[in-house]
Every structure is written in C-alpha cells, then in structure tokens.
Structure 1
Amino acid sequence: MGVISTDKNKITLFYNSESSIGKQCYGYVQASDKEVLGVDISKTNITGTQWAELAEKLGIPVKELIDVKHADFVKLYGDKDIVMEDHDWMKILDKNPTLVQFPVLVFGENYYQLTSGADFKKYLEANSAGIDKK
C-alpha cells in the first residue's frame, strides 16, 4: 500500500503552478467532472517517500522526474550528466521542487506524466473506458 491515496472517482494532480504546463494541466483537470485534488509542488512539501512512489508507479528512476535542462538546475548543478542514487535526486526535489519536469496525474490506480494539457483528455477517456494507456 502506497502513501498516495488513489480512488477511481478522484483525480490527483502533482503540478507546479509557476510553470505554464502546470497551469495548463491544472486547468484541464479542474474542467473534468471528477473530484480533484491539486497538489501544487511549489507551495506544498512532497516527502521523499511520495517522490519515490510517484517515480515507481510511473516506472521511471527518480532522476527522470527532474528537468536537468532547466536553467535553475544547470545554474545549481551544471550541465554535465550527473550520476547519483535515487535518495540524492530526492534531496534535489526536496530543495527545488519546481525542477519537476512534468505534472503527474494520479487517476484510479494509474499514474501518468502529462507533457501537455491535452494529454489529460486522452488519459481521462482511456481510464473511463477501462483501458490502461501507459
């Protein structure tokens, strides 16, 4: 059992309200007819356990949650490829949550990274039809 609550009638969106894609995705999610929990990572502290669960459910390493090409990341850590353990990447997320690459949608038991606001619609339709569209 994970620490992130899941429900087939509820949508949880982990997003950054300071990014255009975050604002756009949140707008799409708010327009749905489902109950919505928006978690603005620029204002809400996400625990290391939650970051680890998001990455695990997405099937990616924690590093891939981070936009390593983001100007703030490059300023802090340089533009060379960095090799670290997941717990080190979680420390970066803890100190700089706005470096998250894409919003993460939790809908039912499914987890998705939204690369655009329009992504939400295809996942909502697939999930409503009972299709796992990963």
Structure 2
Amino acid sequence: MSNKDMGVIAKNDRELKLYYHPDNRIAKQSIAVAEATKAEKVLINLEEVKLTETQWAEIATLLDKNPSELINTDHSLVKETLSDNPELDENQALKILVHNPQVLLHSIAMRGKKVIEVEGINDLMKLQEMDSRDAKLP
C-alpha cells in the first residue's frame, strides 16, 4: 500500500483497521486479537505506511483528542529532541506523528465510526462485539 493509496480515512463496519507501530509494547498482541475477529482486517504498520497530517488530525478528531494527546511524551525520541515536558500545539504534534510514528502512545483501532486507542488487548474486544450483538436483522 503506497502513500497515495491513503486518502481521507474510509470507515467500514465490516472492516477492522489497526494502526500500529511495531515498536509498540502491545502491537503484536493487538494484531493477534485483530486476526481472531470475523471482520476483514486492515493492519496498518506505521513504520511502512506514512499517514498525512490530515489523516492524523482526523484520527485525533474521531478519538475526541488533541493530536498531542496521541504522543508518548515519555518516548526517548521526544525527550531527546524536545524536552521532558513538551507543550505541543496541534501542528507540531501532527508533524511529529507524520515523521516519527514510533512516538504514538497507543495503537489505534477503527471499525465503522467507532475508534479506540488500544491500551490493552481487551480493548479490541469492544470493537469485536459488533460481530453479533449489533447485527441487523433482515
């Protein structure tokens, strides 16, 4: 998947998207849980796929967060290049996420219009429940 394939983020109820960086502590477990769902999986390795500032801004908006809240300020890269307590405005945060996706605090999972940060592998279960409970009867 090349950079130009990524447009405004498409939302599909049958598709589970997982945005992750392989350096993330629970990325591998998140991928395993995602693989177990019935939904189509779209695994987006942020080391290989570069999201745009617009896409990061959309993800932050869907999570109802400021882009700076998506950044792990304890990450060594942040501490070395910025400071121990960086105060990032939205534009700075978006640029950091585009160029240094390894500082993403948590993997992000999306299914339809529901978007969550994956802080623990059980978080993905919140999106998996849609397989049965939210099924629409004909």
TM-score tier, shorter chain, comes to 0.7 to 0.9
Count matched residues.
128
Distance 1:30 1:127 in 2: 14
* TM value normalised by structure 2: 0.85
The residue type equivalent to 2:83 in the other structure is G
Structure 1: runs of 5 or more not aligned: none
Q: Which residue type is aligned with residue 122 of structure 1?
A: K
TM-score normalised by the chain length of structure 1 = 0.88
**Equivalent residues of 2:50, 2:98 under 8 A apart:** yes
Could you tell me which residue of structure 1 aligns to residue 27 of structure 2? 22
Whole-angstrom CA distance in 1 between matches of 2:54 and 2:131: 26
In structure 2, list runs of 5 or more residues that go unmatched.
Answer: 1-6
Greater mean deviation of Cα atoms: 115-124 or 50-59: 115-124
Q: What percentage of aligned pairs have identical amino acids?
A: 26
Q: Does 1:129 align with 2:133?
A: yes
Partner in structure 2 of residue 117 of structure 1: 121
Deviating more after overlay: 119-128 vs 56-65: 119-128
Contact 1:28 1:117 in 2 (8 A): yes
Query: How far did 1:75 drift?
Result: 1.5
Q: What is the deviation of 1:98?
A: 0.5
Deviations along 1:30-66, one digit per CA (max 9) or x if unpaired, are 1111101011111110100100000000000000110
Residue 62 of structure 2 is matched in structure 1 by 57
Contact 1:18 1:42 in 2 (8 A): no
